[in-house]
Amino acid sequence: MAQKPSIPKGTRDFSPVEMAKRNYIFNTIRDVYALYGYRQIETPAMENLSTLMGKYGEEGDKLLFKILNSGDFVAKTTDEELLGRNSIRLTNKFCEKGLRYDLTVPFARYVVQHREELQLPFKRYQIQPVWRADRPQKGRYREFYQCDADVVGSDSLLNEVELVQIIDEVFSRFGIRVCIKINNRKILAGIAEIIGAPDKIVDITVAIDKLDKIGLDNVNAELLAGGLSQESVEKLQPILTLSGSNEEKLESIAHVLADSETGLKGVEEVKFVLGEVADARPHNEVELDLTLARGLNYYTGCIFEVKALDVQIGSITGGGRYDNLTGIFGMPGLSGVGISFGADRIYDVLNQLELYPEDAVGGCRILFINFGLREAKQCMAYARKLRTEGISAEVYPDSVKMKKQMSYANAHGVPYVALVGENEIKEGKLMLKDMVSGNQQLVSIEEVVELLNKS
C-alpha cells in the first residue's frame, strides 16, 4: 500500500478559500504601499550563504535552511573530514546557498548590489515568503510571509509619519481596531543614562518590555537580579508608571530626561511624529508607550508596534528606524526606516472577527448548468459575454444529473445558477436561479449583467 503523502512540519497547504483570504490581505497592503509611492521588488528565495551567515547572530545562523550543492559535493571532502563529523565544517563545504531567513538582509544586499541604479531616497516594498528552521508550534511556522516596506537614504522624520499613516490606513481598510504604539531608542538610552546604568540598557529594556505580561513587581525583581542597584530601580519607577495623554507623557519624560541630550533628542523626534500624525486625524489610536523596546540591537530611533484591540494576539505589525542597514555589506551610513505587517496574524484576526468582505472570498458569480452539447454551446456564448463585463462565470463541463451540478454550485458558494434548455434557447433567454432565496426568473443575458453588477 502506497504511503500517504504529507508535507514538512511547519508548512501549510492553503485551500482556494484560504488563498482568497490571503490574497485579500496581500492586495490590501500592496495597494496602500503603492498609494504612498513605494515600489515593489522581489529577491530570490535562495541567497548565497555568505550573504546570510553572521547577520542574525549565532542562534539565527542555526535557523537557516541550507541547500546542498549540486553534483557530487562529497568528492572534494577527505575521509578524515567525513570521519571527524564536524557538522558546521561539513555544512560549509557542502552548502553554498540557503533559503532567505527574512526580507531585510536580502534588501540590504539588493541596495548595495544595485546602488548605482537606485535614486535615493529609495522606497521599496516586498511581499514574499521566508524560511526558518525553527521548532514548529502554534502560530510559528517554518515557512511564512513577510510584508515589508522600507525607505532608505533619508533621515527625514516625515518617513516615520507616513509609515504610521500607512499602518493606520491598512487596518482601517481591514476594519480591525488597533493601537499603534510608538517609542524611541534614544529615549530608552536616555532613561538608562539618567538612572546611572547606561551599560545596562538592554537588560533594562528587556525587563520593562515584559511589564504588561508579568507586572511591575516582577519587572523590578528582574531588574535587581540583572545587576541594577536599588537606587537605579527606584529612579525608574516614575517612568514605568507614566500615564496620561501623549502630550502629558512627553512633558513628563522630557522633565525626567532634562540632563540627557540623547534622551531629549528622542523626545523631540517622537513629539514631531505624534504631532504630524495627529494633524492627519488617524482612524486608530496612536500611543506613546515607553515600555516598547523591540529590536534594540537594530533600531536607533523611532520604534513601532501594533496591537489588535478586539483579539488576544501578539504584535501584528512592527518596525522602526535604523542607521546602518548596508554596513554589513561594506557600505556604512545608509539610514532607513521600515515596517513589516504580520500577514499570518492578520489572517487569524480577520477570521476571528469575521471581517472578510463577501466578495473577497467569493469565487464564481454564476454557474451555467450543462444539459447537453447544443445547450452548452449557448451557455459558453453567454459566459463569454459575462466575462467581458468583468463577471466571473463558469459552465459545468459535463452533462450529468442536475442534482450533481447544483451540489457543485452549493459547495463552491456560487450565488446564481443559470439554466438554458431548449425553450430558453428559442426565446433567447435563460432561467436564473438565486441560490440563497431559491427564486427563479426568466431573463435576457443583458438583464443578468445588470442584476449581477448591482449585487
pLDDT in tens, 53-65: 888 878 888 899 9
* pLDDT at site 75: 63
The answer on whether 110 is annotated among ligand-binding residues is no
The answer on whether 103 is annotated among ligand-binding residues is yes
The three grid cell numbers given for residue 125, joined into one nine-digit string: 516594498
Residue of 319, 294, 258, 7 whose CA lies nearest to 142:
7
**Could you tell me the pLDDT band of residue 192, with boundaries at 50, 70 and 90?**
confident
The answer on whether 298 is annotated among ligand-binding residues is yes
Q: Which residue has the higher pLDDT, 135 or 138?
A: 135
The architecture (CATH level 2) of 363-454 comes to 3-Layer(aba) Sandwich (3.40)
Report percent pLDDT > 70 for the chain. 95
Residue of 306, 301, 332 whose CA lies nearest to 317:
306
- 273: Cβ–Cβ under 8 A, 6 or more apart, which residues? 157, 160, 161, 164, 182, 302
Lowest mean pLDDT among 160-164, 169-173, 412-416: 412-416
The answer on whether 52 is annotated among ligand-binding residues is no
pLDDT one-digit tens code per residue, 313-337: 889 999 999 988 888 888 888 999 9
The answer on whether 146 is annotated among ligand-binding residues is yes
* pLDDT at site 73: 66
* pLDDT at site 214: 87
Residue 285 has pLDDT above 70, yes or no: yes
Instruction: Please give the model's pTM, rounded to 2 decimal places.
Output: 0.88
- 452: Cβ–Cβ under 8 A, 6 or more apart, which residues? 365, 366, 386, 391, 416
CB atoms within 10 A of CB 289: 19
**Could you tell me the pLDDT band of residue 96, with boundaries at 50, 70 and 90?**
confident
**Could you tell me the pLDDT band of residue 163, with boundaries at 50, 70 and 90?**
very high
Sequence spans of domains, the chain: 363-454
The answer on whether 294 is annotated among ligand-binding residues is yes
Mean pLDDT taken over the chain = 90
* pLDDT at site 82: 65
* C-alpha to C-alpha distance for 292 and 300, rounded to whole angstroms: 13
The answer on whether 102 is annotated among ligand-binding residues is yes
